[in-house]
Amino acid sequence: MSTAACTIVVLISGNGSNLQALIDASDGDKTSGGYKISAVISNKADAFGLQRAAKAGIPTLVIDHKQYPDRQSFDQRLMQEIDAFAPQLVVLAGFMRILSAEFVQHYAGRVLNIHPSLLPDYRGTHTHERVIEAGEKQHGVSVHFVTEELDGGPVVLQAVVPVLQDDTRDVLAARVAKQEHVIYPKAVSWFAAGRLQMRDNGAWLDGERLGNCGIREYLS
């Protein structure tokens, strides 16, 4: 017997390739671990991800951060709109805004993000270039809970990919993105099924505390 799907709101700023992966993997009410995307919100009106959502019949909304005097007032409007959909989870999929402490606390334990590095290494931006410049042999992507510390919340799941000798930024980014589209729906499904939680001392899956790197998958 299935239960109602977990409702999520996805925040984007651009192309929305991870959003598309989440749409493709969404199974609504079909299983107890299913999730339903209730809305997609972007801070940029020209974000291609909005077209992806519209094509899938998902409600969309644009909240232009440039129309607000500061981060706090933007986040307050964002919270108001998100709360109107009463989601159980907020998913950041290429949302290029640093969220305020008020926002993070409001949705504590209910916000996931995906970051293109093997956290805690290479927080912030331009991760692919930095990894290549540092001569790293491995790179990857991390799904983590969002806390007030930038890219510092408990890690849930990572995919590790090789860094090849002739890699360019774009080639490496494409290799990482391929795995982003695999692990993000997986982590969201874990949360939707009630298997994944954030507690005071980290991320927990199936009643067991995950290590600092979460679960690691080694992929090509």
Catalytic residues: 115
Query: What span, in angstroms and rounded, lies between the C-alpha atoms of 10 and 19?
Result: 7
Task: Choose among 199, 85, 190: nearest CA to 143.
Answer: 190
C-alpha torsion angle, residues 153, 154, 159, 164 (rounded to 10): 50
Tokens 């982590």, residue located: 187
* Close Cβ partners of 191 (under 8 Å, ≥ 6 residues apart): 6, 35, 89, 112, 197
- DSSP symbols for 18-77: HHHHHHHH--TTSSTT-EEEEEEEES-TT-THHHHHHHTT--EEE--GGGSSSHHHHHHH
Q: Taking a C-beta distance cutoff of 8 angstroms, is the pair 75, 99 a contact?
A: yes
Q: Taking a C-beta distance cutoff of 8 angstroms, is the pair 10, 40 a contact?
A: yes
